[in-house]
Structure 1
Amino acid sequence: MLRAHTVEDVRRAEQAAMARLPDGALMQRAAAGLAAAVVDLLGGAYGRRVLLLVGPGDNGGDALWAGARLAARGASVEALLLAERTHADGLAALRRAGGRAARDLADLHPSPDVVLDGILGIGGRPGLRDDAARAVERLAGVPVVAVDVPSGLGVDTGEVDGPHVRADLTVTFGTHKVAHLVDPSATACGALHLVDLGLDLGPAAVEALQPADVRDLLPRPGPDAQKYSRGVVGVRAGSATYPGAALLAVAGANTGLVGMVRYVGASSVADRVRVAHPEVVGDGRVQAWVVGPGGGDDAAGMLAEALADDVPVVVDADALRHVDAPLPGAVLTPHAGELAAMTDAERADVEARPLAHVREAARRWGCVVLLKGHHTLVADPDGRVRATTTGVPWLATAGAGDVLAGLVGALLAAGLTPYDAASVGSWLHGAAATEAAAGGPLTASRVAVQIPQVVRDTLAELG
């Protein structure tokens, strides 16, 4: 499990570590890991030009000590000092190793090979001061390695307010931070590299499933399994106007993770579903329902009928408009616009503060809420949050959410908790999209077709 902690968590763990380690040991570990990551990025150190953007905090000290290590290996290292107060020992080490420092960018080499962003530490506020923002703007186009977190981001919130650094690589220390996993800040972090400092950390603020976690959670039939014991999922979706939504939701549900899929809808749509998926049957007992994709004016009735069965329900698309009371045991799957409509918020604010909004929605509706996005967030009413880091931009395509709803419903019917079903479903959905796209365009139907192969690969590679 990839775990991301808050600033307070990290500081508490660092203080405990510093009490048992020699003075400066944590910074030296961080600097060594940072320097090694820069060498890997550049393919070597000798002859490379490295520019450090140095602020007043410990991240500036990390950058200076890493710069000293790079200079000792033959790199040409310069530091732009962006604060009156600078980490004195780190600056002295850089100069001893042959590096130089200045307070004006014009006094330094104009074409570095890489920039190390040590402007602000994890305690910094969102945004950059004007002088730092100008320096970052003037260096546009140069690869950037962020020290711990790109400067200017909301570290505990993932929010962005004002100018900030966009990194190609973020080298973080001890643990991942919330900003690494939560949009919109996650898009500014680039690739992530964790340097282990041996910190003793408690529960994480945000988690991200890894392949081994998914493998452990995936439902697998036992030797005595039969179709009913493996779970039955029902789908109430589609309409004469949107029959394709039913086909896609059924495709997401009918990926082999349960023993049976039932479809209930208009006869004209049901006929098309049976042609595309002959193994799908009609109404009957289920362990979970998927409701809403393409439901149109029928969505309210679909939701009421599904809730009457008193089983877990995935509520998607048109059915979300009819959620007017807490739904314990349900999974709501809105995108930002749908969540905004449900909570009387502005869509732009949901997109700017997705973590805050998804947590509040989970508390308000008393159930798991899956907020779709670049990094989909799954929130439980108890405050837990998981971020999905699989997927590609090509996944932003019509019908992809219908497939996801069906997949999550199947996992619910197979026995996963709502939180795990939503998290695993989102991970599989993103992984299937990545494989199906293969670097190019993608349609929702191809995502559904790819899901069984992703499941097989996950089980085989880690089994």
Structure 2
Amino acid sequence: MLHAHTVEQVRAAERELMARLPEGALMQRAAAGLAAAVVEFLGSLYGRRVLLLVGSGDNGGDALWAGAMLARRGVQVEAWLLGDSAHDAGRTALTRAGGRVVNGPSRRPEVVVDGIVGIGGRGGLRDNAASALKLLHGVPVVAVDTPSGVDVDTGEVEGDHVEAALTVTFGTHKACHLVDPAARACGAVHLVDLGLDLPRAELEALQPEDVAALLPRPTTDAQKYARGVVGVRAGSAEYAGAALLSVAGASCGLAGMVRYVGDESVAATVKSHHPEVVGGGRVQAWVVGSGGGEAAGAELDAARADGVPLVVDADALRHVTGQVGDAVLTPHAGELAGMLGADREEIEARPLHFAREAARTYDATVLLKGRRTVVARPDGRARVNTTGTSWLATAGAGDVLGGVVGALLSAGLTTYDAASVGAWLHGAAATLVSDGGPLVASEVARAVPEVVRGLLA
């Protein structure tokens, strides 16, 4: 599991570790990891040009010490001091190693190291830092710990900030490395282990081994009913494709049976494409809403009457009122804006905040769809999904996702795990079929079994 800790948790763990280490040892560890990452990024050393943008805090110190290590290996290193002061020992080490302190780059660098603001920074960059970055526009940036100017604990961005090609972080990930819009500013993220003793994180991201451990597997004496029966109430005469795609997701093989309930003409179409799907009856979970149109409210009421876990999507979300309990709500930003009375732009700027707010408001698991999908529980715990491709932004993809999550629910996963695993599988399947190019939603549904086989192997 990839864990993202808060600034307060990281600082407490650093203080505890520094009390056991010689003075400056922790910064040396961080600087060595940063220097190694810059070396790998550059690909070669001698004569390469690196510019450090140095602020007053410890991130500036990390940058200066890393610069000294690079200078000793033949890199031309300059440090542009942007803060009110600079880390004295780091500055001395840099100049002794042959690096230079400048008031602006003498030559255009090949890499900029962002050591401007530490993890406690808030509210964008100062004018002088923003101006320096504009002067260096087009030069790739390696950020120290986090891109300067982003909000570390929320993943939110306000004002000017660094756009990094690579972020080298220390000890643990932070929310800004996972949650958009800040995650987009991080580029690739490289973690340097400092040996911190950290508490449980409230924000995390599943990794392949976590998904494999959570996947439902049939026992040696399994039969179809024991593996889970998922029901789908989706589609309408106008949107029959939504029913087909919801059923395709539910029919990914993770449940023992799929039942479809809906318009007779749509049901006939569904069964012609999916002959293994049967009609109504008892289920362990319902998927409701995709393409349901005016009937979505009635279908939601009927599904809730069964007292089983629900996946509530698309048209059915408009009919969610009060606390719904054992359910996964799957809005995109526009749908969640309507549910919470917010603006879509607000949701997109603060997805973690609003996913958690919606989970508390509706007492349900909320899966807020996006480039970095957020899954939140009512108690504040959350997961961010890091699989997927921009080609997944295509019609019907959400219908498939709802079906996959419903299959996992029927197989016995909790709403939180089903939503998290479903989002991971959906994104991984999209990446597999995309192979760097376009895709359609039905291809994603068909690729889920192959992703599962890869995990189980």
Give the TM-score range, shorter chain: over 0.9
TM-superposed CA distance for 1:170, in Å, is: 0.3
SS at match of 2:19: helix
TM-superposed CA distance for 1:126, in Å, is: 2.5
- Residues 269-308 of structure 1 mapped to structure 2, 5 A cutoff: 269-308=266-305
Encode CA deviations 1:127-151: one digit per residue, 9 max, x unaligned: 0011100111111111110000000
TM-superposed CA distance for 1:26, in Å, is: 0.7
Equivalent residue for 1:160? 157
Structure 2: distance between partners of 1:316 and 1:438 = 28
TM-score (norm: length of structure 2):
0.99
Verify: 1:341 aligned to 2:341, yes or no. no
Moved more, 218-227 or 110-119: 110-119
Aligned with residue 188 of structure 1, among 185, 189, 194: 185
Structure 2: distance between partners of 1:230 and 1:243 = 27
Equivalent residue for 1:202? 199
Aligned with residue 127 of structure 2, among 127, 130, 143: 130
TM-superposed CA distance for 1:50, in Å, is: 0.4
**Residue type at the aligned position of 1:46:** Y
Verify: 1:239 aligned to 2:236, yes or no. yes
Structure 1: distance between partners of 2:193 and 2:388 = 26
**Residue type at the aligned position of 1:57:** G
Equivalent residue for 1:148? 145
SS at match of 1:20: coil
Encode CA deviations 1:429-462: one digit per residue, 9 max, x unaligned: 00001111000011111110110000001111xx
Verify: 1:399 aligned to 2:396, yes or no. yes
Structure 1: distance between partners of 2:195 and 2:357 = 33
Structure 2: distance between partners of 1:396 and 1:296 = 22
Equivalent residue for 1:221? 218
Verify: 1:414 aligned to 2:411, yes or no. yes
- Residues 451-462 of structure 1 mapped to structure 2, 5 A cutoff: 451-460=448-457
* 8 Å contact from structure 1 (residues 6, 178) kept in 2: yes
Encode CA deviations 1:367-400: one digit per residue, 9 max, x unaligned: 1000000100000111110000000111111100
Equivalent residue for 1:423? 420
**Residue type at the aligned position of 2:22:** P
Runs of 4+ in structure 1 deviating by more than 6 angstroms, as ranges, are none
Structure 2: distance between partners of 1:126 and 1:27 = 25
Structure 2: distance between partners of 1:125 and 1:148 = 14
SS at match of 2:346: helix
SS at match of 2:223: coil
Aligned with residue 370 of structure 1, among 367, 370, 384: 367
Structure 1: distance between partners of 2:303 and 2:402 = 15
Encode CA deviations 1:232-254: one digit per residue, 9 max, x unaligned: 00000000110000000000000
Equivalent residue for 1:262? 259
Encode CA deviations 1:229-283: one digit per residue, 9 max, x unaligned: 0000000000011000000000000010010000000011001100110000000
Structure 2: distance between partners of 1:109 and 1:264 = 70
List runs of 5+ in structure 1 lacking aligned partners.
none
Equivalent residue for 1:327? 324
SS at match of 1:221: coil
Aligned-residue CA RMSD (Å):
0.6
Equivalent residue for 1:63? 63
Encode CA deviations 1:68-127: one digit per residue, 9 max, x unaligned: 000000000001100121001000000000000123x2xx23321111000000001120
SS at match of 2:445: helix
Encode CA deviations 1:187-212: one digit per residue, 9 max, x unaligned: 00000100000000001131000000
**Residue type at the aligned position of 1:160:** V
Verify: 1:439 aligned to 2:436, yes or no. yes
Structure 1: distance between partners of 2:83 and 2:194 = 27
- Residues 35-50 of structure 1 mapped to structure 2, 5 A cutoff: 35-50=35-50
TM-superposed CA distance for 1:325, in Å, is: 1.4
TM-superposed CA distance for 1:154, in Å, is: 0.5
Equivalent residue for 1:356? 353
Moved more, 336-345 or 135-144: 135-144
Encode CA deviations 1:392-442: one digit per residue, 9 max, x unaligned: 111111100000000000000000000000000000000001111000011
Structure 2: distance between partners of 1:83 and 1:245 = 55
Structure 2: distance between partners of 1:457 and 1:434 = 14
**Residue type at the aligned position of 2:18:** M
Structure 2: distance between partners of 1:206 and 1:382 = 12
TM-score (norm: length of structure 1):
0.98
Structure 2: distance between partners of 1:269 and 1:138 = 59
Aligned with residue 389 of structure 1, among 367, 386, 390: 386
Count, aligned residues: 457
Equivalent residue for 1:118? 115
SS at match of 2:101: strand
Verify: 1:93 aligned to 2:93, yes or no. yes
* 8 Å contact from structure 1 (residues 178, 205) kept in 2: no
* 8 Å contact from structure 1 (residues 206, 387) kept in 2: yes
Verify: 1:33 aligned to 2:27, yes or no. no
Percent identical among aligned pairs is 70
TM-superposed CA distance for 1:176, in Å, is: 0.4
Structure 2: distance between partners of 1:80 and 1:203 = 38
**Residue type at the aligned position of 1:143:** P
**Residue type at the aligned position of 2:70:** L
Structure 1: distance between partners of 2:24 and 2:238 = 66
Verify: 1:310 aligned to 2:307, yes or no. yes
